[in-house]
Chains A and B, each alone.
Chain A
């Protein structure tokens, strides 16, 4: 993985962030048969872990450089500017969401779903709902990732400051917060009831760990990552997770899971980022690092390009994917939800994501050429993509 001193872009980050965005898109279309291919069905963790980790990595990489070269204030300002952009994106998506459910409430009624339709009662108080959404307390389905990202970035500047000076201390502090969260059950309340689906006190750990890896931690881990023992442990753990996941679909197999094991592993907590999920993500990462060396030539081949280009424009692609998953669901309910339609919608959605990302990267190049060369410090995107 890249270190603070390396300037060439680590394409693996873009590649896997792009793939994570595709998987999140597939998982976000409700009842999408194609989502059977996504990793969450075969183990404990899902694409969210990949996305949060890589986002932490690139945030530390890009803004860490800004902070080192221009000081704490400028670095912090850039981080906050990015958080603000994501906030605007979130509100934009919320507006689309409101339009969608407004439509559902106007056009659908069925006595079978009397209870479910009760959820629309919040439409009677749009003032409160909109305000709660702006406070990030009201978060519709599948719109939980951006608020998490916003709050992680909003608090990132001081963490980054410590990460640069004493990386191990920062990671230790982050782990301590994670442990305290479990001990005292900290989470942020949501509206109208309940708590954040992605508890930021828990998920910050992966984000900070990503940052720690970006600022030299990955290098320190090299010896561990490349040891055969670690690889073996990762493979064993993935197989274990896979066999547990199979009992979810074939409950009869559950008799082979000793009661003590079942008592220890369940429930596998997504909200609070269960340790089992972290371990699953780390195992996947270890295997990926074995399979894909940083200088692998095929990373530059046309096969990888669609995912890489999406990963390089992650915010835009992510927002588009949320919109596309709404649209996909709309097509399923209004037109057809037969299997061929689900496959077509999934494929078309990914094609639109790739096309848009390609357009963005083309436009960025045109703009850059028009303005002439600039010192690299002002172009953090050259180094590691936007955070």
Chain B
């Protein structure tokens, strides 16, 4: 009980800190990062002063030639900043072109070797590009989520990027829906990267259609994604005691 109390206190401090320090361009999407479901193992890990996060994903979880600027590393930076005294480690396992089905095996291996408190599973884009049967896609997600839960890890799903230029070529709709439904069914948080980026496009926060070889916009976006993701994880962990582990 004492540990819970401590965790909640630490998190309240932490969450306030995150809210206060979000750069304004990230903060416009803050309301899309709600603590819908709890992350009890994260709460426990923070109380024990050691938080390990595993990011499993495909190409959009990294930036060409600038891994340290991609959102997994930015997530680590944001968590370190908000959780002083907690040993934070974010480990990323990403591979371009990886479908949900193809991610299950490495995910299971990573769960055993990394033993994370929470997994962030970025998925959807490649499955949409390859038009994998949405049913099989859902089944693969189910498999990964059960594996995480039986390895005593929490899990968060992170959906596809909003990509206006390729929207008429890659049909994300069904896959975004299925990720949402899988999240609801397992009562786990979904980080709606698609919705957040779409909001940025609508508000004109970032310009996703301009032709450029430079990394500056991409780095900025990944930084915000990392920060908002940290916020989702911490807010959801705060929810944890009332939700209970599943």
Contact = CB atoms under 8 A, between A and B. Distances in A.
Given A107-B211, A193-B132, A332-B164, A262 B170 contact: no
A259 B135 CA distance: 19
Interface stretch (A10-18, A78-86, A209-217, A269-277): A269-277
Interface-central residue, A110, A255, A263, by most chain B CB under 10 Å? A110
B134 A111 contact: no
A303 interface: no
A184 interface: no
B168 A114 contact: no
A126 interface: no
Interface stretch (A51-59, A146-154, A246-254, A310-318): A246-254
B89 interface: no
A194 interface: yes
Interface in A6-56: 30-31
B202 A100 contact: no
Contacts of B183: 251
Contacts of B182: 266-267
A193 B165 contact: no
Contacts of B34: 251-252
Given A111-B64, A115-B125, A251-B190, A194 B165 contact: no
A195 B161 CA distance: 23
A194 B208 contact: no
Contacts of A325: 168
B131 A190 contact: yes
Contact of A267 (B131, B170, B178): B178
Interface in A96-122: 97, 100-101, 104, 107-120
Nearest to B141: A267
A380 B200 CA distance: 52
A267 B134 contact: yes
Nearest to B201: A337
Interface residues of A, number: 56
Contacts of B1: none
B96 interface: yes
Interface string A154-193: 0000000000000000000000000000000001001011
A192 B169 CA distance: 13
A295 to B, nearest CB: 39
Nearest to A263: B185
Contacts of B130: 192-194
A140 interface: yes
Interface in B201-235: 201-202, 208-215, 217-218, 221
A272 B135 contact: yes
A113 B163 contact: yes
Nearest to B217: A112
A288 interface: no
B21 interface: no
Nearest to B66: A111
Interface in B174-201: 174, 177-178, 180-185, 187, 190, 198, 201
Contacts of A329: 167-168
Contacts of B131: 190, 193-195, 197
A113 B221 CA distance: 12
A162 to B, nearest CB: 30
A187 B208 contact: no
Contact of A109 (B132, B171, B213, B217): B213
A113 B116 CA distance: 28
A270 B182 CA distance: 15
Interface of B: 34, 36-37, 58-60, 63-64, 96-97, 125-126, 129-135, 138, 161-171, 174, 177-178, 180-185, 187, 190, 198, 201-202, 208-215, 217-218, 221
15 contacts: A31-B162, A31-B167, A101-B168, A104-B166, A111-B212, A115-B59, A115-B125, A141-B171, A193-B132, A195-B133, A251-B180, A257-B184, A262-B185, A333-B164, A333-B165
Given A111-B215, A113-B166, 20 more contacts: A30-B168, A31-B162, A31-B164, A31-B198, A112-B208, A114-B59, A116-B161, A141-B167, A142-B171, A190-B131, A193-B130, A248-B184, A266-B184, A267-B135, A267-B181, A268-B181, A333-B209, A337-B201, A337-B202, A339-B202
